[in-house]
């Protein structure tokens, strides 16, 4: 079980984590929360219907990590948008879609990161031997979402566009300043892969 998720009887997943691993995942989840930003403030409307239809941003984020986490819905950077008019129409559709969906997407990603932090904080004091984290099916799905977001964020900082590029990362010399981030990226990928397998019927 060390370093890999395994299915629990009746659903859910478990993984053994040591103190360092717990600290790394928690720190990354906190950083992800800070990047995504706070939720609605105290001034949010009392009317839940009004909040449901509250508009979000229409422009893509400037930060490249947030751009990866919240991509445009109607544009593909690898595809020719066609004529200037078609490109303008794509931008307009993307802006409209973003306006009505990004707030919900941010809330979902925020809740997933918070679920990771809460579940780690609820672990009994791990001590030198670490602890076994046990997740329900719902918590497993939230962890899966958060692990995916963490890998997207780190991959963006490492300029990884395609998963096939990860082969080169294994060969980075130890003195390369990207090495710690690369190791975290690859380790989270292993966790993500084994967690996916626990959720498959």
Least confident interval from 2-11, 56-65, 85-94, 161-170: 85-94
Environment class of 150 (CB within 10 Å of its CB; exposed 0-12, middle 13-18, buried 19+):
buried
Confidence category of residue 59, pLDDT binned at 50, 70, 90: low
Domain chopping of the chain, boundaries: 6-199
Query: What's the pLDDT score for residue 74?
Result: 62
Find the mean pLDDT for residues 156-160: 87
Which pLDDT score is estimated for 154?
Answer: 94
Q: Per-residue pLDDT tens for 84-107?
A: 776 666 666 566 666 666 788 888
Q: What letter does residue 25 receive in the DSSP assignment?
A: H
Lowest mean pLDDT among 67-71, 110-114, 123-127: 123-127
Task: Report residue 2's pLDDT band, with 50, 70 and 90 as the boundaries.
Answer: low
Q: Got the DSSP string for 110-128?
A: HHHHHHHHHHHHTS----T
Residue 127 has pLDDT above 70, yes or no: no
Q: How far apart are CA 97 and CA 58, in angstroms?
A: 8
């Amino acid at each position: 079980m060390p370093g890999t998720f395994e299915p629990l009887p009746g659903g859910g997943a478990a993984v053994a984590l040591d103190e360092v691993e717990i600290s790394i995942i928690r720190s990354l989840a906190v950083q992800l929360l800070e990047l995504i930003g706070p939720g609605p403030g105290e001034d949010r409307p009392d009317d839940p219907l009004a909040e449901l239809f509250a508009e979000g941003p229409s422009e893509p984020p400037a930060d490249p990590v947030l751009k990866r986490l919240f991509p445009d819905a109607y544009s593909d950077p690898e595809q020719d948008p066609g004529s200037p008019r078609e490109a303008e129409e794509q931008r307009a559709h993307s802006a409209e879609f973003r306006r009505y969906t990004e707030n919900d997407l941010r809330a979902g990603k925020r809740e997933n990161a918070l679920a990771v932090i809460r579940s780690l904080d609820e672990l009994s004091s791990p001590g030198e031997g670490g602890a076994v984290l046990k997740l329900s099916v719902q918590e497993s799905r939230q962890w899966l979402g958060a692990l995916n977001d963490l890998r997207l964020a780190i991959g963006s900082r490492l300029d990884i566009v395609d998963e096939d590029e990860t082969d080169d990362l294994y060969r980075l010399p130890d003195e390369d300043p990207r090495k710690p981030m690369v190791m975290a990226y690859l380790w989270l990928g292993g966790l993500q892969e084994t967690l996916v397998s626990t959720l498959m019927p």
